[in-house]
C-alpha cells in the first residue's frame, strides 16, 4: 500500500447557533444541551483536527449564518479558526456569493474563503505536501482554468473542488479529465460517498451534529488520507455532543406495564454503556401484547415512563435521555376474530365496512357535516350543544374531513386496535 503523503479534514453544515429541536418540554439540562450542541460538536471537530495533525481543513455547506448565530457564534468560530492557525493548519472554506462574514471580525490569514470560480494553493510546507489546489465550483462542476492548468501534472498536483451542495452530474464527478481528485460537498446532514475510484472521490461530509430526532446515529467529519498515487482514503470521525437514537423494544411477552418498563430500562443502560463522551436522546417504539396496548398507549403513562427513565438514566455520564415513547400499532389482528360473536367481532366487521367504503363517515364525522351544519338528532343519537358550537369552527371542519385516504386508514386502524385492546383486557380480568 502506498505511503500517505498528507491528510486533511472535511467537515460541512455546522449550522452554528441553530438549536436542536423536536423535544417536547425538555428538562433544563437537556434544554441547555439542545442549545449548545452545535458549538460543543464543533469544538470536538477542531480538537480532532489538532490531535490528528491534519495538514489543512475543508469546510463546505452551511457553516454559519451570522444573523442566526449572532455575536456568540461569530466569535466562537473566529476563536476555533485561530486555534488551527496557531498550529499551522490552513482552512479552505467554500462559500456562496451571498454568504457574508462580519467585516469587524477578522479571520486569520490561514483561513481562505472561496466562492465559485476562486482557487487557492495550500500553504503547508512544500517539503511535506505535493502541490495542492483547492477550488470552489458552481453547480456545473466546471473547474476554474487556473486550477486545471496548474494540475496538469497529476503526479505533483492534487485538486480539491468545494461546493455547498453536490453538482448535478455524476458523469462530471467520475470523469478522469475533470481535473479533480476530491469533490468536497455539503448540503446534507447525512454523510455519503457519491463516487469513488482510483482517480477521484466525491463525498458529502454530512453535518457534525444531528439537529432533531429524525437525524439518528453518529454525526461527524471525514478525514481524507492521500497517498503518493493521489488515491484518497476516507474515514469517519464522530464529533456529535448529543446523539439521537430510535430504538424498538420487543415486549410482546410482557404481562404487565412494569415488565415493559424493565425491558426498556435494560436497553437504555446498554445503550449508554456502548458510547463514550456523548449523551443520547432516545425515541422508543414499544411493541406490546394486545391486552396492554390500551394502557400502554395512554399519554399520561408514556409521559410518566419518560420521567422515571430520565430520573434514573439522565443523571449519569454519558446521559441517556428519553425524549419520546410511543406504542407501535399492531399491523393486523387475527383474521378469525372477525367471526367472533361478541363486541370485538362486531367492531372488526364494522371496521371492514368503513375501510371498504370511504364515503362512510367515521367517529365524529358522523355528527358534523363538513359544510358546517350539524346533522339532526334523529340521525345522530346523543347530539350535544357543544358539538353544534364546535361545528362552526372552520379549522375543525377541515380537520374532520379526513380527505387523505392514508390518514383515514391510519386513524381507523389505531381506533380499532385500541378498542380491541380494552375489550380483551376487560375479558382477561373477568
Query: Any bridge partners for residue 56, and if so which?
Result: 8, 90
According to the model, what pLDDT value does residue 221 have? Answer: 98
Please give the chain's pLDDT, 430 residues, in tens. Answer: 566 789 999 999 999 999 999 999 999 999 999 999 999 999 999 999 999 999 999 999 999 999 999 999 999 999 999 999 999 999 999 998 777 899 899 999 999 999 888 888 775 545 666 678 888 888 777 676 544 444 444 446 899 999 998 877 676 666 666 778 999 999 999 999 998 888 889 999 999 999 999 999 999 999 999 998 889 999 999 999 999 999 999 999 999 999 999 999 999 999 988 888 899 999 999 999 888 888 888 889 999 999 999 999 998 889 999 999 999 877 666 677 777 788 877 877 887 787 777 777 665 555 555 455 544 444 444 445 554 454 445 554 555 556 667 777 777 777 777 777 777 666 656 5
Strand order through the sheet with 242-250: 242-250, 279-287, 320-327
According to the model, what pLDDT value does residue 150 have? Answer: 45
Query: Any bridge partners for residue 160, and if so which?
Result: 134, 182
Q: Is 220 helix (H, G, I), strand (E, B) or coil?
A: strand
Distance, in Å, from the CA atom of 188 to the CA atom of 166, rounded to the nearest integer, reads 9
Q: Is 224 helix (H, G, I), strand (E, B) or coil?
A: strand
- Helices 299-313 and 257-273 cross at an angle (nearest 10°) of 40
- Identify the helix (H) or strand (E) that includes residue 34: helix 28-51
According to the model, what pLDDT value does residue 149 have? Answer: 43
Annotated domain spans of the chain: 4-238, 243-327, 335-429
How large is the C-alpha radius of gyration of the chain? 29
Own/partner long-range contacts of 249-257 (Cβ < 8 Å, ≥24 apart): 249/284, 249/285, 249/286, 249/287, 250/287, 251/286, 251/287, 251/288, 251/289, 252/287, 252/288, 252/289, 253/289, 254/288, 254/289, 254/292, 256/292, 257/292, 257/295, 257/296, 257/301
Would you say the C-alpha torsion 313, 317, 323, 324 has a positive or negative sign? negative
For residues 169 and 175, the answer to whether their CB atoms sit within 8 Å is no
For residues 52 and 101, the answer to whether their CB atoms sit within 8 Å is no
Q: What letters, b where the CB count within 10 A reaches 16 and e where it falls short, cover 208-246?
A: bbbbebebbebbbbbbbebeeebbbebeebbbbbbbbbe
Instruction: Name the fold adopted by 4-238.
Output: Purple Acid Phosphatase; chain A, domain 2 (3.60.21)
Query: Any bridge partners for residue 220, and if so which?
Result: 238
Please identify which residue in the block is written with the cell numbers 400499532: 329
According to the model, what pLDDT value does residue 331 have? Answer: 62
Q: Is 211 helix (H, G, I), strand (E, B) or coil?
A: coil
For residues 9 and 223, the answer to whether their CB atoms sit within 8 Å is yes
Distance, in Å, from the CA atom of 210 to the CA atom of 218, rounded to the nearest integer, reads 8
For residues 212 and 20, the answer to whether their CB atoms sit within 8 Å is yes
Amino acid at each position: 500500500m502506498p505511503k500517505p503523503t498528507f491528510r486533511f479534514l472535511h467537515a460541512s453544515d455546522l449550522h452554528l447557533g441553530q438549536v436542536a429541536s423536536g423535544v417536547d418540554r425538555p428538562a433544563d439540562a437537556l434544554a441547555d444541551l439542545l442549545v449548545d450542541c452545535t458549538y460543543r460538536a464543533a469544538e470536538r471537530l477542531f480538537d480532532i483536527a489538532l490531535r490528528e495533525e491534519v495538514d489543512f481543513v475543508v469546510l463546505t455547506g452551511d457553516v454559519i449564518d451570522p444573523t442566526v448565530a449572532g455575536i456568540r457564534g461569530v466569535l466562537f468560530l473566529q476563536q476555533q479558526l485561530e486555534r488551527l492557525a496557531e498550529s499551522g493548519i490552513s482552512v479552505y472554506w467554500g462559500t456562496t456569493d451571498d454568504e457574508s462574514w462580519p467585516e469587524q471580525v477578522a479571520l486569520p490569514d490561514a483561513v481562505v474563503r472561496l466562492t465559485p470560480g476562486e482557487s487557492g494553493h495550500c500553504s503547508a510546507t512544500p517539503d511535506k505536501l505535493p502541490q495542492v489546489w483547492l477550488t470552489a465550483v458552481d453547480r456545473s462542476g466546471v473547474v476554474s482554468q487556473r486550477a486545471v492548468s496548474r494540475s496538469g501534472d497529476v503526479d505533483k498536483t492534487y485538486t480539491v473542488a468545494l461546493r455547498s451542495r453536490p453538482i448535478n452530474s455524476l458523469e462530471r464527478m467520475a470523469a478522469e479529465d475533470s481535473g479533480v481528485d476530491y469533490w468536497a460537498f455539503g448540503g446534507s446532514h447525512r454523510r455519503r460517498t457519491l463516487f469513488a475510484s482510483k482517480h477521484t472521490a466525491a463525498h458529502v461530509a454530512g453535518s457534525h451534529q444531528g439537529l432533531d430526532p429524525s437525524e439518528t446515529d453518529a454525526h461527524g467529519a471525514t478525514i481524507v488520507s492521500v497517498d503518493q498515487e493521489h488515491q484518497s482514503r476516507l474515514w469517519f470521525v464522530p464529533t456529535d455532543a448529543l446523539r439521537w437514537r430510535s430504538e424498538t423494544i420487543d415486549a410482546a411477552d410482557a404481562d404487565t406495564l412494569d415488565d415493559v418498563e424493565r425491558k426498556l430500562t435494560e436497553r437504555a443502560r446498554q445503550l449508554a454503556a456502548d458510547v463514550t463522551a456523548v449523551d443520547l436522546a432516545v425515541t422508543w417504539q414499544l411493541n406490546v401484547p394486545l391486552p396492554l396496548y390500551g394502557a400502554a398507549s395512554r399519554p399520561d403513562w408514556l409521559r410518566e415512563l419518560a420521567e422515571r427513565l430520565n430520573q434514573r438514566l439522565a443523571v449519569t455520564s454519558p446521559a441517556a435521555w428519553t425524549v419520546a415513547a410511543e406504542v407501535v400499532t399492531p399491523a393486523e389482528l387475527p383474521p378469525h376474530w372477525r367471526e367472533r360473536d361478541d363486541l370485538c367481532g362486531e367492531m372488526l366487521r364494522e371496521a371492514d365496512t368503513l375501510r371498504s367504503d370511504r364515503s362512510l363517515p367515521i367517529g365524529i364525522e358522523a355528527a358534523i357535516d363538513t359544510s358546517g351544519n350539524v346533522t339532526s338528532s334523529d340521525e345522530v343519537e346523543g347530539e350535544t350543544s357543544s358539538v353544534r358550537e364546535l361545528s362552526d369552527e372552520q379549522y375543525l371542519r377541515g380537520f374532520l374531513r379526513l380527505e387523505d385516504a392514508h390518514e383515514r386508514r391510519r386513524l381507523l386502524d389505531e381506533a380499532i386496535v385500541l378498542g380491541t385492546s380494552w375489550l380483551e383486557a376487560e375479558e382477561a380480568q373477568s
